[in-house]
Structure 1
Amino acid sequence: MFQQPGYMENVSLRLSEVLADTGVDERIVQKRRRTWLLRESMLTISIQLRDGNASEYFLGSQSEGTTTLGLDSDFDRLICINDINVIQDWADWEPGKPNYLMIQDETVSSGYCLLQRLRDDAPLPANNVHNKNHLRDRTGRILLKNKIMSAIGDDVIEGGVRHGPAYAQQGQPGFKDIDTVVSLPCKSWALQARQWLDQQGVGQWPSDHTKRYCSSTGCSVVGVGRSENEEFEWRISTSLAERCLMFNLNITQIRCYVLMKMILKTYIKPHFEDTISSFMCKTVLFHCIANTHSYVWRENNLLVCLSLCLFVLCNCILNENCPHFIIPGNNLMRGHISHESKPYMLEILQYIINSKGRALLEIECDDLGTRLQLKMSNLLFEFDIKESDIISGQLLELTAWFIDEIMLNCLTLITNSSYKEAIQTLLKYIFKVVIISNQCQRLDKTACSLLASHFCTTLGSILASLNIQQYNAISAEALTWISLGLNTDVASSKLKLASMFYCVGDAQRTEIVLRDIEGNYDLNIVEPICRCYEFIHQPSRKGFNAICDNHNEEAIQHTTAFCVKFLPCEINCVPHELRHEMFRSTQENLPLRGRHDKPMNFVVVDSLPYLYFLQYKAYSNLGRQEDKQRTLSNLVRTIDQEPNLAHRETALNLLGQCMEQEDRARDALHCYLLSLNQRERNNAATFHIYRLLSILGNGH
């Protein structure tokens, strides 16, 4: 099948179709980029809300849209600390903040620099060693040690393991690792990269317009060196410009890069783990695009483009030199290729090039080989699962998780606040979001909208709790604020409203709100969302994925249900059965809390079981026995069958108290014991067991 006339074009077209089937097409690439850029906006805004001065970026395959389900790429996160001013021109010196001058001379490696401390009161070199992070060199310059980034990184990232300039946060089983790099930004374009702005290859890529935009992104410095000045050298990073270049690739160029990574994963990494990186492959791709005519990069020529890139990669390995695309003096392969491994890697790559596509049949990643074999044999075969649906579902869940994580971090700051302090803080958040929204466009505005509605819900609930404490009623102000956030998702905000009505004894309005939630909560579509704890998330519903494939973040309000969080100052909006969850940590468990135990002073419950619990209580008060038993059955079924409950132990505690109300003490005790099996420590089930045994022991 690889021998017919025109087979290179035929293989290229079939290969393009296969990659499109795995989600490497224009639409999914744009979806991936939108998701990660939106996350950047939300995180940077959340830092501003808390009076921080840093910017967060997500780089690499995830945000570029150059990954697949099979490649399963890690997350790359860049945090720019904006409190420090790094300059290359004395005119950029700023009063009121630490200023450092980038030194790029013959004493440092290409692509690296030194940072010289300047005076705070004038654009002049500093004369004093400020602290242990600085040292005077032989020429009298006060230089900043790059190890300071370890201290900054430790403050910014909890639980990180330092890998060179990166902090690798190891996730629990089922979670991706996150590589985080902390950097200091420089507003101006790197001196060592200025020659690149004037160069132009036969491909006329990137365009002059793109280069001007790249230069406007400036650069940053990362705390890692590689010469005898290793302690003082800083690597110059043009990562934002590189991402801009990736955003300017056409789909054939993106597919070529994805294929290179699949080849790397299949043929190179199992034998030579730390030799060739995906960034080297990206750099090779950049060089190839810049030095070939644009008409080469089309779908029916994909195999030729891939062979060209592999050939250039071979030359890089042969010469042990892969020049950085923007700062060519920086050899990315320096120290990576051993003399023992070089001939074997060259042999593997030559085999793949000479195979004219046959070697691709051996790639198991994303079933590429199997899919290509079927395409080439003209066999009509549909894979059971639509890849674009799964990817779209994962992306929407990621966006929802980002929102929940940000809200968790913001609410943690006011956990122990008084009513006055909590209300003032939330008003500050809301007003800041409004100001930011009025000053920005597009995704930044979308990010503001997504966050603001959650703050409004919490503010309304806190005001209602204060109202209930003062005069056992809910003010119009509280209802107004909570109404502004009712469409955050399918259930959580409306459940807070229902909870408020329940706590003032308004069973009728409670039932109306709950009936509305149940009517919109499609069990075949809606996915629970929670970032309180890390747990292995089971695959999303097909109905959820299908809707996500046709929508972006606007689908969150119709397809997701966040867990319901109550702060201590919302206690009067919480039914007494649920209030025990706020005091679930015993004295012996307090020292055992980890960095993932932020919501321990909250009441937190998954939306669906809380819906059924509130319905059970409302129908009990209304004397509707049949409806009460129906919702009790729904609660039991949800606990047993919903795979993605993050707070199953809380749901079991609520069910146990329902069983007590039904005079089924043995079943209640069974629920509490099951709850302890779910979460051994920091669980209110312990209190319920002692309480129930005491009641039974007294003969009641």
Structure 2
Amino acid sequence: MDFSQRYQLILSRILDDIGLTTISIQRRRRTWLMKEAISSVKASLQDVKDVDRMLESMRYKKYYFGSQSEATTTLSMGSDIDMLYCYENFQVILELCGWKDGVVNFLAFRNSKTPPQHCNLLCVKHEGPVPETRTNKNCYFKDNRGLVFFMNTVSIIFLKTLCLPSEELKKHGPSMSWNDNMDYVKAFNCPVFPDECKFVFRRPRPGHWPSPFLLDEARACGTFVVPQWYSESPQKQQKFKNVGPVTDDYTVTESVGSLLEWRYSTSRMERLFVFDWSIQQLKVYILLKLIRKTFLKPIFGDRLSTFHMKTTMMYTVENYPKDIWRDNNIIQCVTYCLSTLLRWSRLRFCPHFTIANVNLFTGKIHAHEIPQLVNILSEIISSNIKCVFQIEIDNIGDRLRNRVAGFNFSLPSWVFKNGAVAILMAGEYSSEYFKCFLQILEGLDQMTYNDAILTVRRYSSILKKWSEVGDDRHIEAAKVFGPIIACTGASMRASRCIKLTRNISKQITERYGFGDNRSSVSNRLKYASMLYCSNQFNAAAESLYLCEQIIGKTPVWQMCLVDRRLNKPPVSDLHCKVMMLSNEDIFDSVIVTSVVFSRHELHCVPRFLIYDMFRTFTTDDKLDRHPYGDIWMDLAVVDPLPFMYYLQFITYHALGSSDQMVDCFNKLFAYVSYEHNKYGGHYEVAISLLGHCCELLGRLDMAWFNYKTSFTTIPRNNAAIWHMCRIVHGFTVRRQAN
């Protein structure tokens, strides 16, 4: 069967159905760029001491590259997340005259033997533009000329501090990872383009793409230098004098030369080019990726990567007329791209789009595999790309067969798939805020109370500064962080007042600052908790009533945003509602996040929940904790709905209102008892809260049952063990007294 224009149009509509629409693509890109902005604002809070020099004082910036931020993936494609940390207090210079005071300078060192796209990083003295000759640290190598070079093992040494001993670090090019969903790259900025990276600006081209305006934007992107040796550098085990930690297998199995090689990366420029593609060109690129994953990856693995497909696509967009990229010509465009890749395969040379003299097949596709690649590509092209009927990802093959045959079929609708993209992106957006907030709280907990209060005050000044000098994304990030930071500071001050038995001033309570949207629910619950802990029970009951009114009866997405706790997606009837909302609007009107208390807020936390700050009970608990992902375990973290019901129960218990107590108990019981744990999240904490309610009602048997159930659900780092010990201790004391 030949692909007529009608069939190609059907295929294009199918790609719309699985989420490749303009609105979903823009949402994906906006989300990942917002995550970068959120991270930058958080970094400024932790790094900046002088608010007036905020932008110059930041130590690192985080970037997301690849399929996720480019929006060149689908819900079922399983694309990983590529995260790059660029350390702003380091820079790579091309000449010693580029030396800059106040940062760590490396000179990009090259000679006649240096591979293309690579360099060595020669250390330069802090005092001035002179090569360094002193070193006594790991990750530095001193050659026989006395020159000191920075080794590319630094990423491994750094990442090993962030993972458990049982987790294996895997290397994928310059990136490292301990899980299959996230790749980490440590990078330095090279503000001046090396000569080979100017290739994209100098070589001849037809002229319609990239446009002169786009190339001008690309010139401002700069270059990264990432830790990656050349694919054909010698990698035999050699004996050499302590060039790195002897416990590092990576170090002892590679040659000295390969450990000194760093690679130029133009990721920002490449992302800029992909952002300029039309929706039709993006559909062609995603079809190329689906073909690679379905038919080429089983044979060549990830050695024939999506980057080969991206490069193929860029050259095809550059060399073919602009008017061919149409919905009814989508298969023909895929053919043009595969023909480009086929031509390179026959030449055994795949050029880099932005860097000169680079063969992307080097170290990837072996010489004996080239004929096989040529045969497969030739067969796919000669069959008029009929292989799309066999693509199982996102049911594309089934959808296409059914649409061509005119059958009705029950597969997820356009609304459902695009709504699912909106929900996924809202989760990423909210997760970035919440995880950054946890890191901020963890930092505050390491300080004394006075230092923490001063730091929160400085945070507020920095957020105000962002609203003055930031772009729209940084302003939005600062706007969301503002109420969270203000509420934390107010809660810390109120906690100190309660500890010292002082009245909590109106100035403090006003700093809790919450509105009438759902994003303020967590702050309102912290305010109600403060009222309860300061014995203002009637005011607490009124605040909790208002909180329950805000949540209301409409669908609510209670989002748990920590690792190792289940974050269940919202009910399906939210898909239509959220699809046309921005992430910020979803965050304000649909999502309620967990309530978090730091140890500086100890006296604003119901005594029962304080045990959660000390949930790491045994040595096994400590070994089970992830050094980076589980920092929240030193805080009291509870989901908003069960916490609201629990606060209402203990408030009405203090007021002696038995009818309201029973009502709140039943709500909490229904929450915990819901079949298959509808809400996910910190479910074990909710069960323990129900157990404490049983204790207050004098039902120790039911309390024990709930604590035991909680402990069975999460047997490590669970405060339920403390509560079981309390019951046993109380029973023992009473027995001895009798």
Kindly indicate whether the alpha-carbon contact (under 8 Å) linking 2:313 and 2:337 is maintained by their aligned counterparts in 1: yes
| 2:597 and 2:635 in contact (8 A); partners too | yes
User: Do the aligned partners of residues 8 and 190 (structure 1) sit closer, same or farther apart at CA in structure 2, a change above 3 Å counting?
Assistant: farther
Question: 2:649 aligned to 616, 622, 639, which one?
Answer: 616
State the shift of 1:355 in Å.
2.3
Q: State the match for 1:684 in structure 2.
A: 719
Aligned mate of 2:333, from 305, 313, 326: 305
- Aligned partners of 2:84 and 2:184 also within 8 Å: yes
Q: Which residue does the alignment assign to 1:212? A: 216
Q: Residue by residue, what CA displacement relative to the aligned partner does 1:518-553 show, whole Å, maximum 9, x if unpaired? A: 222256532222333323433332234333211122
SS of equivalent to 2:445: coil
Q: Give 2:641's aligned amino acid.
A: L
1:562 to 577, 582, 593: 593
Flag structure 1 segments of 5+ consecutive residues without an equivalent: none
Amino acid in structure 2 at the alignment position of 1:196 = V
Residue 163 of structure 1 is aligned with which of 165, 171, 190? Answer: 171
- Which TM-score applies when normalising by structure 1? 0.93
> Is contact 1:430–1:452 with CA below 8 Å preserved after alignment?
yes
Q: How has the CA–CA distance of structure 1 residues 166 and 646 changed in structure 2, closer, same or farther, with 3 Å as cutoff?
A: farther
Aligned match for 1:71, one of 77, 86, 109: 77
How do residues 21-60 of structure 1 correspond to structure 2 at under 5 angstroms?
21-51=17-47, 53-60=59-66
How far apart are 1:243 and its partner, in Å?
Answer: 0.5
Superposed CA offset, 1:39-80 (max 9, x none)? 111112212211150111000000000000111200001111
SS of residue matched to 2:107: strand
Aligned to 2:710: 675
Secondary structure of 1:492's aligned partner = helix
- Map residues 394-433 of structure 1 onto 2, 5 A cutoff: 394-433=424-463
CA contact (8 A) 2:518 2:551 kept: no
Deviations 1:76-130 (A, max 9, x none): 0111112222112444221233322223443211211222333434434445567
SS at match of 2:300: coil
1:608 alignment partner AA: L
Matched, 1:576 2:618: no
* Residue 387 (1) aligns with residue 387 (2): no
Letter in 2 for 1:546: C
Q: Which amino acid aligns with 2:609?
A: L
CA pair 321-536 structure 1, distance change in 2 beyond 3 A? farther
Matches of 1:90 and 1:330, distance apart in 2:
26
Distance 1:142 1:682 in 2: 45
Q: Matches of 1:262 and 1:436 in 2, distance apart? A: 41
Cα deviation digits, residues 266-314 of structure 1 (max 9, x gap) = 1111232133100110000001111111111122211111011111112
Change in Cα spacing, 1:61 to 1:588, as seen in structure 2 (3 Å) is closer
Looking at structure 2, the residues matched to 157 and 192 of structure 1 have their Cα atoms a distance apart, in angstroms, of: 36
Cα distance change on mapping 1:476 and 1:268 into 2, 3 Å? same
What is the SS of the residue equivalent to 1:274?
helix
Query: Deviation per CA, 1:426-462, whole angstroms, max 9, x where unpaired?
Result: 1122222222231111111111112222111111111
Letter in 2 for 1:261: K
Q: CA deviation digits over 1:446-484, x for unaligned, max 9?
A: 111122221111111111111222335321122121115
Report the counterpart of residue 239 of structure 2 in structure 1: none
Of stretches 615-624 and 286-295 in structure 1, the one that deviates more from structure 2 is 615-624
Q: Structure 1 residue 387: deviation in Å?
A: 0.2
1:307-386 equivalence runs, <5 A: 307-381=335-409, 383-385=411-413, 386=416
How far apart are the structure 2 equivalents of 1:101 and 1:694?
65
Give the whole-Å Cα distance in 2 for the aligned partners of 1:429 and 1:495.
22
1:143-194 Cα offsets, whole Å, 9 max, x none, are 43333444355567886725155444344xxxx5210111111111221122
Whole-angstrom distance in 2 between the partners of 1:119 and 1:693: 64
3-state DSSP class of the match of 1:683? coil
CA distance in 2, matches of 1:673, 1:284: 58
Deviation at 1:600, TM superposition (A): 2.9
Partner residue of 2:685?
650
Between stretches 383-392 and 363-372, larger displacement belongs to 383-392
Q: Which deviates further from its counterpart, 313-322 or 67-76? A: 313-322
**Cα distance in structure 1, aligned partners of 2:680 and 2:223:** 43
State the one-letter code of the partner of 1:474.
I
Q: 1:640 aligns with which of 673, 679, 693?
A: 673
Taking structure 1 as reference, are residues 490 and 377 closer, same or farther at Cα in structure 2, changes over 3 Å only?
farther
Question: 2 CA distance for matches of 1:538 and 1:669?
Answer: 28
Residue 14 of structure 1 is matched in structure 2 by 10
Match of 2:238 in 1: none
- The CA distance in 2 between the partners of 1:98 and 1:663, in whole Å, is 64
Q: Distance in 2 between matches of 1:245 and 1:453?
A: 37
Local SS of the residue matching 2:4 = helix
User: Which one of the candidate residues 507, 517, 526 is aligned to 1:477?
Assistant: 507
| SS of equivalent to 1:330 | coil
Contact 2:487–2:511 (Cα < 8 Å) also in 1: yes
Q: Structure 1 120/694 Cα, relative in aligned 2: closer, same or farther at 3 Å?
A: closer
Pair 155,581 (structure 1): closer, same or farther in 2 beyond 3 Å: closer
**Cα distance change of structure 1 residues 121 and 462 upon mapping to structure 2, 3 Å threshold:** closer
1:95 counterpart (96, 101, 105): 101
Counterpart residue number, 1:521: 551
Q: Distance in 1 between matches of 2:685 and 2:508?
A: 27
SS at match of 1:113: strand
Q: Which residue in 2 is equivalent to 1:498?
A: 528
CA shift, 1:140, in A, is 6.8
CA distance in 2, matches of 1:246, 1:342: 28
**1:336-382 CA-partner distances (Å, limit 9, x unpaired):** 22344333333332232222242111100001111112222234545
Matches for 1:157-196 after TM superposition, within 5 Å: 161-163=169-171, 165-171=173-179, 177-196=181-200
Aligned match for 2:577, one of 544, 547, 565:
547
- Give the CA deviation at 1:254: 0.7
1: CA distance between counterparts of 2:282 and 2:565? Answer: 33
CA contact 2:514–2:523 (8 Å) conserved in 1 = no
The question of 1:256 aligning with 2:289 is answered: no
- Residue range with higher mean Cα deviation, 44-53 or 16-25: 44-53
8 Å contact from structure 2 (residues 83, 184) kept in 1: yes
Q: 2:249: which partner in 1?
A: none
Distance in 2 (alpha carbons) for counterparts of 1:439 and 1:583: 41
Post-superposition Cα deviations, 1:228-286, rounded to whole Å, max 9, x if no partner, equal 54232211101110010011111111111111111111111123213310011000000
Aligned 8 A contact 1:389 1:548 in 2:
yes
Residues 190 and 218, structure 1, Cα contact 8 Å, conserved in 2? no
Question: 5+ residue gaps in structure 2?
Answer: 48-57, 235-256
Q: Deviations over 1:197-217 (max 9, x none)?
A: 133422521011211211211
Q: Tell me whether 637-646 or 183-192 shows the greater mean CA deviation.
A: 637-646
SS at match of 2:359: coil
Residues 538 and 317 from structure 1, CA distance in 2 versus in 1: closer, same or farther, beyond 3 angstroms?
Answer: farther
Identify which range, 316-325 or 519-528, moves more after superposition. 519-528
How many residues end up aligned between the 2 structures? 692
Q: Write out per-residue CA displacement over residues 371-423 of structure 1, whole angstroms, 9 at most, x where no aligned residue.
A: 11222223454534510011100110111111111111111112253331221
Shift of 1:599: 2.6
1: distance between equivalents of 2:696 and 2:132? 74
Q: Is the 8 A contact 1:160 1:167 kept in 2?
A: no
In the superposition, relative to structure 1, how do residues 685 and 131 fare at CA in structure 2: closer, same or farther (>3 Å)?
Answer: closer
The 8 Å contact of residues 657 and 668 in structure 1, kept in 2 or not, is answered as yes
Q: Tell me if 1:199 matches 2:207.
A: no
- In structure 2, what is the equivalent of residue 443 of structure 1? 473
TM-score (norm 2): 0.88
